Structure 1
Amino acid sequence: MEGFIETARAAYVIARRDFTAIIFSKSFFFFLLGPLFPLGIGVFAGGLGSQVSKDIDRPVIGVALTAEQSEQLLEAKKKLSASLGDEAIPDLLLLPDVAPDATNIKDQLDSAQKPLTAIISGSLEAPLLTGSERDVKRWQGRTALLAETALSGTQSIPVKTDYVASTDSSDRRTQLATAQGGQVILILLTMILAGMVLSNLVEEKTNKIIEILAAAIPMDAIFLGKLFAMLGMALVGITVWSTLGFIAVAAIGGGLPALAAPAVGWPIFCILLVLYFSMAYLLLGSLFLGIGAMATTVREVQTLSMPVTMGQLLVFFLAALTVTKLGEPIEWFAVAFPFSSPFAMIARAAQMDNIWQHGLALIWQGIFTLIIIRFSVMLFRRNVMKSGQSARKKGLWKRVRGR
């Protein structure tokens, strides 16, 4: 127990040293500014994509009225589009095979030849708008305006509504977007930030600082301290970027993408997102520490880290593949395999509401992180310490030959 406390205390000293040195350095400021350039390009491209999306995904409302009233509604649409603009009035699709008083109006929302936002049925004097609550509330006023224009505006038209209730299967389908979004956030942040662990260790190996620390502090504490210092730096960077992003969204006046609420709820999902990012970072960072223990030059670092980076992409693809395969063997493998476990578990958080499984997953990921760190320490002692002895032997041999 006393040895564990000493190791933890030494790890805290190393973590505080590295964290302070990085946070208050000039390079960290430029590191924070780095993502702003691709972010600006992404915002610009997103604006173009949003405009294209508006042109492609225009709302289409089906018309299940009599032939005469359908023609009146189409004429009303032309008049309103000319005065208010095309974007203000939804497109109309005639449904001649559907009777105005049909009982299967809801079924037509999925079986029509084009995706429909809602369906107008009944009559122009008493229109009935059927669709999801969000879409119906959005277009109820425009529907009334269309009906009033079709009847020459002689009276105010009340529009009745009929909401389509969401089912469990539809909720699960919409939660897939949340699951995939969480996985993408994890992989992007991990790949952007984890490489700094490797560069920091190689730099200190080159300057012989790591050997000085190894003479005074247990190597396990040094590696743990460096890993958690880098994790703290990464969390600071994420906090700064997130704050700037929210400020930019609020200033521009845009909205965040509408994602379905995860099964565990947004507060717990956000907490799990931070925890799983931390575990993914620690797992990949501990692996990079092992690579840094074997590498002596920047070229060796690039050569050794490339397979790890490619492997991380394969792990992400594995987790992304299993999003729709909950409970199947391949999904259980993604959950159990430590490097894909954070990505697979954040997808589970979006689709399953039980919390206990996340505690087990985090404990398992933490144990495997400690195993990798222990193995990295062994590699460091074998390579770095041995290289120092070899250097002394070579120097002695040169002196002997010189005589």
Structure 2
Amino acid sequence: MSAGHIEGRLPVWRAAWVVARRDFLAVLMSKTFIFFLLGPLFPFVIGGLAGGIGAEVRDTVDRPVLGIAMAPAATVQFERAHARLQAELGDYIPGLVRVDASGDFDPGAALRGSEVNMGAIVGGTLEKPQLYGPAEQVAAWQGRVGLIAREARSGGAAPLPQVASTTTQGSTAGETRTRLFTAQGGQLLLFMLTMLLAGMVLSNLVEEKGNKIIEILAAAIPMDAVFLGKLFAMLAISFVGITVWGLVGGGLLSMAGRSLADLSPPAVGWPAFFGLGIAYFSMAYLLLGSVFLAIGSMAATVREVQTLSMPVTMMQLMVFLFASYAMAQPGSGVEMAAMAFPLSSPFTMIARAAQDAALWPHVLALVYQAVWVAIFVKVGAGLFRSRVMKSGAQDRRPLWRRMLTRRRRPVPAAR
């Protein structure tokens, strides 16, 4: 008879519900839960520091270039002047690319259909240049285009020409940049929440190992149920905390006169983005939580947990940096690898939701991640069972040896 169907025991899922309800209520009614809700104040400081790193990520994305759609002779003069000024002023002068202006030329269509990251198009003549593009890009480049046009006409001796402007509905550069901000924000928020909340699983496990509650639970219900119950209880507690923080943060933003309309909308839209964010947070939490429980089963004391927490934290950081690097290279092999690696897949996919409107990849990704959650839970529960059920006899071997090998079962004495 299997361990999961011993006579008198509850079925696995019902027993898991009992453990989850017990842990959820115990944490929710504890005095320390208030301090837990105050915890995110510290990650906000870290998030501000991470903003500097985010600027480096944005710099890896192609800078918008200026398209030129002038007469051939004027184009040659403009390009020569552009090269001279770019050599002197560097990145202040945007890159330049020729645009085919033959036939019925539509600047807005040319911007939206461009394969390069084109921010605006300059047309007209050197005496009266015309700049087409989004309002914010036109405002940023109007003076620079006038500077190049003056250099092309007189080598910098004449006054700056008046640059006329025509705004368009949007461009590849505008959409790419604004969606990148949303992708970065979603990815960073998902990482911070996972890093902040997943540690509760490890601390809860070590506490109950110390006061022998785990042994009592293991004797009464299947070990797989204990494992699942603790995971989902801590996930439910996490959603309680996220709800409180979201309401407080939303209230503060409303008082400051800010709303979602002030932010760059993701490619899939805000409702789908929030729904995917909840799903990917759940997957990231369950994946990391199952790893934490497996590691916690190897630690016998709080000191050993502290020893293990550093490499686990570094692993989380490396996974986040890998997903951030993949975000800046959409469609590349790096992004495919980040999607395939289970621990980085949720972070990569939430960034993709902000940059790509297709929904079917997220259905496949969630199914794929759920399969890995089942694998991690099964393997972790097996290791958890083999360690916890032996906790009655103290294993005095070093921690590294216990992590690499299993303790031999005692051979029964011959009768």
Give the alignment's TM-score, normalised by structure 1: 0.67
**Deviation at 1:38?**
6.6
Aligned to 2:376: 372
More helix by percentage: 1
In the alignment, what sits opposite 1:33? 38
Counterpart mapping for 1:160-171 below 5 A = 162-171=166-175
Displacement of 1:374 after TM fit? 1.9
RMSD over aligned Cα atoms:
3.1
Q: Which moved more, 1:269-278 or 1:25-34?
A: 25-34
Q: How is 1:238-387 mapped onto 2 (pairs within 5 angstroms)? A: 238-254=242-258, 258-387=262-391
- Tell me: CA distance 1:215–1:22, structure 2 relative to 1, closer, same or farther (3 Å): same
Give the distance between the partners of 1:346 and 1:37, measured in 2 at CA.
24
More displaced 10-residue stretch of structure 1: 356-365 or 27-36: 27-36
Pair member with larger Rg: 1
1:286 partner amino acid: S
* Among candidates 90, 99, 106, match of residue 132 of structure 2: 106
User: 1:37: Cα distance to partner?
Assistant: 6.5
Q: For 1:309 and 1:36, how far apart are their aligned partners in 2?
A: 19
2:239 pairs, out of 235, 238, 241, with 235
Does the residue aligned with 2:128 lie in a helix, a strand or coil?
A: coil
After superposition, residues 60-75 of structure 1 pair within 5 angstroms as none
Query: Would the aligned equivalents of 1:288 and 1:305 in 2 still touch at CA under 8 Å?
Result: no
Q: CA deviation at 1:114?
A: 5.4
Q: Is the 8 A contact 2:205 2:296 kept in 1?
A: yes
- The residue matched to 2:392 in structure 1 has which SS? helix
Shift of 1:253: 3.4
Whole-angstrom distance in 2 between the partners of 1:312 and 1:113: 45
3-state SS of the aligned residue for 1:326? Answer: coil
Q: 2:29 aligns with which of 24, 31, 35?
A: 24
- Structure 2 Cα separation of the partners of residues 20 and 346 of structure 1: 31
| Offset of residue 9 of structure 1 | 1.1
Contact 1:175–1:259 under 8 Å retained in 2: no
Quick one: distance in 2 between partners of 1:113 and 1:298?
63
1 CA distance for matches of 2:239 and 2:207? Answer: 22
Question: What is the alpha-carbon distance in structure 1 between the residues aligned to residue 163 and residue 20 of structure 2?
Answer: 65
Per the alignment, do residues 319 and 40 of structure 1 end up closer, same or farther by CA in structure 2, a change over 3 Å counting?
closer
Contact 2:294 2:381 in 1 (8 A): yes
Identical aligned pairs, as a percentage? 55
In structure 2, the residue corresponding to 1:104 is in which secondary structure? Answer: strand
1:138-195 deviation digits (Å, cap 9, x = unpaired): xxxxxxxxxxxxxxxxxxxxxxxx4233123431232111111110001100111110
One-letter amino acid matched to 2:32: S
**3-state SS of paired residue (2:132):** helix
Structure 1 CA distance for aligned equivalents of residues 45 and 188 of structure 2:
19
Runs of at least 5 residues in structure 2 that lack an aligned partner in the other structure: 52-123, 147-161, 396-415
Q: Give 3-state SS (helix, strand or coil) of 1:261's partner.
A: coil
Q: Runs of at least 4 residues of structure 1 off by over 6 A?
A: 40-43, 98-101
CA contact (8 A) 2:130 2:163 kept: no
TM-score, scaled relative to structure 2: 0.65
For residues 28 and 270 of structure 1, the distance between their equivalents in structure 2, rounded to whole angstroms, comes to 25
Amino acid at match of 1:168: T
Which structure 1 residue ranges, 5 or more long, are not aligned? 47-97, 117-126, 131-161, 392-403
Q: Is 2:297–2:384's contact at 8 Å kept on the other side of the alignment?
A: yes
Name the SS for the 1:194 alignment partner.
helix
Counterparts of 1:16 and 1:274, CA distance in 2: 21
